[in-house]
């Protein structure tokens, strides 16, 4: 190619590179603006829903206080009803005892009357009169007889009075028990009503909480998308290599096809199971080298740089992409564990992950790949 044409071609490539970088920046800016707007809407919706949830929580708390009071009233009414019922039973026992006592005295009086007046009807009285030696004895005997009869009659009246008093007490305790029963049922109905209202409010809270969780998930997805877009833009920008003097097409010290030796072996404990280049067994071009090792074997950064990607890919599994500047990138795939994050600065030989078999993999190994300006090159030229 004539020198003038070569120079012109390099200028065109440089211009295209600058245009590509500029386009990426504009797209990223637009994406960031759209994402920021979405974030603002989502956050506003989330705040509104959270305010509703907070209001419902206040109402639920007030209902809980009312419910506690209703339960206390219900318990107190139950206690009053039980106490009145017990007192009513006791009063009934007194009524029964007084009635039995009155019946007993009445029966005794009847027996005496029968004995005094059977036959002539006055035998007992005549015996009293004839058995008296003096008038004073007669008076004393008659008075004793009268007092005995009068005492029995008094006992009968006393028993009747006790029964009437106990009956009145029983009626009062019955009234108290009925009142307490009514209060208990009213408190129970109020408690049921409060519990229903509380359950309805809780259902609303659950629904709002689910909506908030959905919004938070959407915000998180948007944040991840924004981060991925930023990483992709930086990743692509790092691939575009524009030499300052317009002469070199690969980073200094890494000429393609020569053993530059600028990278450290990322997994010294591994053995090569599949090299770089065309593979007959799957009829495909292998862009890296597979380093077989037991799962969990540590691997290291081949050189200092900045982590562009540290995450999961369907094909690469858990993988890491590191930019070393000047369009030079290394990739580490199929990891069982990652020990770095996107945006992190790593040093040469730093433990960044562990060998695994995630993604499209047939066994534990590290797929190590080297790229220059976005094009895969033979890793052994740099090890």
Predicted model pTM: 0.38
Q: Which residue has the higher pLDDT, 31 or 103?
A: 103
Angstrom distance (rounded) from CA 266 to CA 293: 12
Give the contacts of 316 (CB within 8 A, at least 6 positions apart): 331, 333, 334, 359, 360, 367
- Characterize the bridge pairing of strands 375-377 and 365-372: antiparallel
Q: Taking residues 267-286, what's their average pLDDT?
A: 88
Per residue in 127-146, pLDDT tens?
555 555 565 555 555 555 55
- Number of Cβ within a 10 Å radius of residue 286: 16
- Number of Cβ within a 10 Å radius of residue 173: 20
E strands, 9-92, where?
none
Q: Which residue has the higher pLDDT, 276 or 282?
A: 276
Angstrom distance (rounded) from CA 98 to CA 208: 69
Q: Tell me the pLDDT of the chain averaged across its residues.
A: 74
- Does the pLDDT at position 214 exceed 60? yes
Smallest Cα–Cα separation from 335: which of 305, 361, 369? Answer: 361
Find out whether 299 and 352 touch, Cβ atoms under 8 Å.
Answer: yes
Per residue in 322-359, pLDDT tens?
999 888 999 999 999 999 999 999 999 999 999 999 99
pLDDT of residue 368: 97
Angle at 291 between CA 287 and CA 294, to 5 degrees: 145
Domains present along the chain, CATH in parentheses: 3-237 (1.10.287), 271-381 (2.70.70.10)
């Amino acid at each position: 190619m004539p020198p003038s044409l070569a120079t012109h071609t390099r200028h065109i490539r440089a211009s295209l590179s600058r245009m590509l970088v500029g386009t990426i920046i504009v797209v990223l800016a637009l994406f960031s603006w759209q994402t920021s707007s979405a974030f603002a809407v989502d956050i506003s919706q989330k705040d509104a829903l959270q305010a509703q949830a907070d209001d419902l929580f206040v109402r639920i708390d007030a209902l809980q206080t009312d419910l506690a009071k209703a339960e206390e009233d219900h318990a107190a009414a139950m206690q009053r009803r039980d106490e009145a019922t017990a007192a009513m039973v006791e009063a009934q026992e007194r009524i029964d005892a007084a009635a039995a006592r009155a019946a007993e005295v009445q029966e005794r009086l009847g027996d005496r009357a029968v004995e005094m007046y059977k036959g002539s009807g006055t035998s007992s009285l005549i015996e009293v009169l004839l058995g008296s030696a003096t008038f004073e004895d007669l008076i004393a005997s008659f008075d004793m007889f009268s007092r005995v009869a009068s005492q029995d009659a008094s006992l009968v009246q006393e028993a009747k009075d006790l029964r009437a008093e106990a009956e009145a007490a029983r009626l009062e305790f019955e009234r108290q028990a009925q009142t307490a029963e009514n209060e208990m049922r009213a408190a129970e109905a109020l408690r049921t009503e409060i519990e229903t209202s509380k359950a309805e409010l809780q259902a609303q809270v659950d629904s709002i909480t689910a909506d908030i969780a959905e919004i938070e998930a959407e915000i998180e997805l948007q944040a991840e998308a924004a981060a991925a877009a930023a990483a992709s833009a930086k990743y692509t920008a790092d691939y575009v290599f524009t030499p300052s003097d317009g002469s070199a097409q690969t980073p200094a010290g890494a000429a393609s096809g020569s053993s530059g030796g600028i990278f450290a072996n990322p997994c010294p404990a591994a053995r090569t199971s599949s090299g770089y280049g065309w593979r007959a067994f799957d009829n495909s071009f292998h862009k890296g080298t597979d380093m077989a090792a037991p799962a969990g074997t540590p691997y290291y950064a081949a050189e200092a740089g900045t982590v562009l990607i540290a995450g999961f890919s369907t094909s690469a599994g858990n993988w890491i992409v590191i930019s070393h500047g000047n369009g030079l990138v290394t990739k580490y795939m199929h990891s069982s564990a990652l020990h770095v994050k996107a945006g992190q600065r790593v040093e040469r030989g730093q433990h960044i992950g562990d060998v695994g078999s995630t993604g499209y993999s047939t066994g534990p190994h590290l797929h190590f790949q080297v790229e220059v300006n976005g094009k895969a090159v033979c890793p052994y030229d740099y090890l």
